[in-house]
């Protein structure tokens, strides 16, 4: 099925099912994806073998100027965003100037729309980097992925290009002391002949134990809503089931948000 790439540094504003009116920032190339994950559900398609190349990344000044132009334009039209969101064509924290760009975005947010939140959608692979962790602690919504608490599922579901140990990942997420939002995408389907389902009782119970350890400020529970590289081989999880999972998190006193 068709997937897509964001074709500029700044995109939107768009209506996000989880964040509200979101102005997006893409720190990655406009013609290909750069990521150290190769998630089977990614709306941007499969990850290229050249994902580590940085020659096509926009510079820090270029990002600053593009964001200021857009925010100035929105201010003139009284179009206030709810959130300024770092997402785009892959993993935003792979940009070498990511911490400085976060500092710049905070300055520009405060100048034009001080009530807007700043969010980062990340796969959590770089949070052991002190500079990146410090930058994520400065923003309003530090949204980090944990699609499963079982190593074999992460390998199939997310197909990491870097070494991931789920125990270490959970410990690192716990190190945010609650200043983190966990995002989890639930799905069922087939990938390369293997069944994938991160909603089984074993999956859910193991994941809930991880959530209890991390104690995030919020958990975002969702399922696929757009085309994926795997097409019809992947299936949405019904909203009723997502709400049942959310109720289990709610019972631990942790806020949840569900998107079907």
Asked if 224 and 41 count as a contact pair (C-beta separation under 8 A), the reply is: yes
pLDDT band of 2, cuts 50, 70, 90: very low
Per residue in 171-189, is it b (16+ CB within 10 Å) or e — as a string? Answer: ebbeebeeebbbbbbbbbb
Residue ranges of domains in the chain, CATH in brackets: 10-182 (3.20.20.70)
Give the list of residues 6+ apart from residue 186 with CB closer than 8 angstroms, or none: 147, 198, 199, 221, 222, 223, 237, 241, 242, 245
CA 153 to CA 209: how far, in whole Å?
16
Closest CA to 136 of 101, 185, 171: 101
Of 49-63, 143-157, 234-248, give the lowest mean pLDDT range.
Answer: 49-63
Of 103-107, 165-169, 229-233, the range with the lowest mean pLDDT is 229-233
Q: Tens of pLDDT along 11-37? A: 989 888 778 899 999 998 776 778 888
Read off the pLDDT of each residue in 152-169 and give the average, rounded to a whole number. Answer: 92
For 204, the token pair is 């859910």
When mean pLDDT is compared across 37-41, 215-219, 226-230, the lowest value belongs to 226-230
DSSP state of 130: H
Q: What is the pLDDT of residue 135?
A: 98
pLDDT tens-digit map of 181-194: 999 999 998 877 88
Structure tokens at 120: 């980062």
Separation between Cα atoms, residue 33 and residue 48, nearest integer Å? 7
Residue 184, pLDDT score: 97
CA–CA distance, 217 with 142 (Å, rounded to integer): 10
3-state helix, strand, coil in the chain (%, to 5): 35, 20, 45
């Amino acid at each position: 099925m068709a997937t897509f790439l964001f074709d500029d540094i700044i995109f939107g504003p768009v209506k996000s099912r989880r964040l509200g009116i979101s102005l997006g920032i893409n720190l990655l190339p406009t013609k290909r994806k750069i990521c150290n994950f190769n998630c089977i559900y990614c709306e941007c398609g499969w990850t290229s073998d050249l994902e580590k190349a940085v020659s096509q990344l926009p510079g820090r000044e270029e990002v600053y100027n593009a964001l200021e132009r857009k925010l100035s334009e929105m201010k003139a039209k009284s179009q206030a965003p709810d959130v300024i969101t770092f997402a785009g064509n892959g993993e935003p924290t792979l940009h070498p100037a990511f911490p400085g760009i976060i500092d710049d975005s905070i300055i520009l947010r405060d100048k034009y729309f001080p009530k807007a939140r700043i969010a980062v959608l990340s796969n959590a692979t770089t949070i052991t980097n002190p500079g990146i962790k410090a930058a994520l602690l400065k923003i309003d919504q530090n949204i980090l992925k944990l699609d499963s608490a079982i190593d074999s599922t992460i390998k199939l579901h997310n197909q990491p290009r870097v070494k991931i140990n789920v125990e270490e990942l959970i410990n690192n997420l716990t190190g945010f002391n609650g200043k983190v939002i966990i995002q989890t995408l639930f799905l069922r389907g087939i990938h390369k002949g293997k069944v994938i389902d991160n909603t089984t009782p074993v999956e859910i119970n193991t994941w809930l134990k991880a959530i209890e350890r991390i104690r995030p400020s919020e958990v975002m529970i969702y399922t696929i809503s757009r085309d994926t590289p795997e097409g019809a081989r992947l299936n949405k999880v019904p909203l009723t089931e997502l709400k049942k999972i959310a109720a289990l998190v709610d019972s631990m006193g942790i806020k949840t948000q569900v998107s079907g």
